[in-house]
């Protein structure tokens, strides 16, 4: 294992120290837990607090989107590990501005369990808490039971839309409705040509031959649902898009947001080539692109790969996506 680290068991704490030093105008530690990171101006009175969290290793997610128009607090776990209950609870306490708290999370057993427990404890303290779970990963299978799927880069779009709703001063029920609407209309699938290495493990999460790719990978470095021969990227994009488009399904006349998300070690040069092909394929299906994002939004350490997300959008979602945001890794005016 070759990494620019010190002690593998101190990676997250040292990362947070560096992040907060650079981004003090956006975020700070909550007083009650070192892994509870909140908006610098938290709590913001008169708005719903939007709180998320998960394992570290997904930079710029999750902490990179703390700020006005997106997230109020993030509970940080170890690499690809759920944050502890006390960290989630402290995020809720520190972010609560009087209008309730919406917990947004991916569909991982540890996250669900720990966020549930934190929500119960917060409610016992008199804080109104609701939850919404992302399940956008087509690569996880479960076509007949989509509620069992993982939440991956579609979570970024949920944070953006819910953050915009909360910033407007909308009630908790409306902010949760938007989370569920985005999730219902978003689908993602990824592919990788090289794994990542979790520092504490010291070895790759899987091994690929030089001419192989892993299809349907998750964002925790786990293998996908199939191992196939590496092909030109146009063919890979067509294959991923076919599975994503047919899962909702998306139809001619739909308007969508596209998200080409690098998984940590894929150059922008290659991501833009993938975007080019995705645009061509959607145009051939009569599907219009209303907004496109290309870059690293939800990574898996240094995994070489990318994912494709489509979000079916209407006027309401278009306005929320376009709404102002001021965070370390997304600024819109």
Domain boundaries of the chain, sorted by first residue = 8-184+322-332, 187-314
> Mean pLDDT throughout 46-62?
97
> Mean pLDDT throughout 21-34?
97
CB 310 within 8 A of CB 246: no
pLDDT tens, residue by residue, 89-134? 999 999 999 999 999 999 999 999 999 999 999 999 999 999 999 9
pLDDT for 186 equals: 98
pLDDT for 160 equals: 98
| Model confidence band, residue 67 (pLDDT cutoffs 50, 70, 90) | very high
The structure's pTM equals: 0.97
Sign of torsion, CA 67 68 73 74?
negative
Say if strands 73-79 and 49-56 run parallel, antiparallel, or are unpaired. parallel
Residue 219 has pLDDT above 90, yes or no: no
Architecture of 187-314 per CATH? Answer: 2-Layer Sandwich (3.30)
pLDDT tens, residue by residue, 318-330? 999 999 999 999 9
How far is the C-alpha of 68 from the C-alpha of 42, rounded, in Å? Answer: 10
pLDDT for 199 equals: 96
Burial of 120-159, coded b for 16+ CB within 10 Å and e otherwise, reads ebbeeeebebbbbbbbbbbbbeeeeebeebbbbbbbbbbb
Q: Which two tokens stand for residue 26?
A: 């956006």
Residue 222 has pLDDT above 90, yes or no: no
pLDDT for 78 equals: 97
Strand intervals (E) in the chain: 27-29, 36-39, 49-56, 73-79, 101-106, 129-134, 186-194, 212-215, 226-229, 255-262, 288-295, 304-312, 325-326, 331-332
Residue 220 has pLDDT above 90, yes or no: no
For residue 148, give the DSSP letter.
G
pLDDT for 320 equals: 98
Residue 221 has pLDDT above 90, yes or no: no
Which sequence positions are flagged as catalytic? 58, 220
pLDDT for 8 equals: 95
> Mean pLDDT throughout 18-34?
97
Residue 263 CA, distance from chain mean position: 11
Residue 151 CA, distance from chain mean position: 7
pLDDT for 163 equals: 98
> Mean pLDDT throughout 36-41?
98
Residue 142 has pLDDT above 90, yes or no: no
pLDDT for 1 equals: 87
CATH of 8-184+322-332, one of 2.120.10.30, 3.20.20.140, 3.40.50.10440, 3.50.50.60: 3.40.50.10440
Burial of 200-224, coded b for 16+ CB within 10 Å and e otherwise, reads eeeeebbebeeeebbbbbbbbbbbb
> Mean pLDDT throughout 210-220?
93
pLDDT for 225 equals: 87
Residue 191 has pLDDT above 90, yes or no: yes
């Amino acid at each position: 294992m070759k990494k620019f680290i010190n002690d593998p068991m101190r990676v997250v704490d040292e990362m947070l120290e560096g992040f907060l030093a650079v981004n003090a105008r956006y975020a700070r530690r909550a007083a009650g837990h070192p892994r509870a990171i909140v908006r610098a101006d938290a709590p913001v009175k008169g708005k719903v607090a939007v709180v998320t969290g998960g394992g570290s290793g997904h930079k710029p997610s999750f902490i990179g989107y703390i700020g006005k128009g997106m997230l109020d607090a993030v509970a940080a776990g170890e690499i690809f590990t759920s944050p502890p209950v006390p960290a989630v609870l402290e995020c809720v306490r520190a972010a609560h501005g009087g209008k309730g708290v919406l917990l947004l999370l991916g569909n991982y057993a540890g996250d669900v369990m720990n966020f549930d427990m934190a929500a119960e404890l917060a409610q016992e303290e008199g804080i109104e808490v609701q939850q919404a779970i992302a399940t956008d990963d087509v690569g996880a299978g479960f076509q007949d039971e989509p509620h069992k799927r993982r939440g991956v880069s579609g979570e970024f779009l949920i944070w953006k839309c819910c953050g915009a709703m909360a910033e407007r001063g909308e009630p908790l029920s409306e902010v949760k409705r938007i989370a569920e609407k985005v999730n219902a209309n978003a689908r993602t699938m990824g592919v990788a040509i090289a794994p990542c290495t979790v520092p504490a493990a010291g070895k790759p999460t899987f091994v690929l031959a030089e001419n192989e790719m892993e299809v349907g990978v998750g964002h925790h470095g786990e293998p996908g649902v199939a191992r196939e021969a590496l092909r030109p990227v146009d063919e890979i994009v067509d294959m991923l898009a076919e599975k994503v488009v047919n899962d909702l399904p998306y139809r001619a006349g739909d308007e969508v947001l596209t998200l080409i998300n690098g998984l940590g070690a894929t150059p922008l040069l290659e991501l833009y080539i993938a975007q080019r092909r995705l645009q061509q394929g959607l145009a051939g299906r009569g599907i219009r692109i209303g907004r496109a994002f290309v870059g690293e939004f939800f990574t898996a350490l240094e995994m070489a790969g990318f994912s494709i997300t489509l979000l079916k959008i209407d006027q309401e979602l278009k306005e929320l996506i376009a709404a102002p945001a001021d965070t370390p890794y997304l600024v819109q005016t």
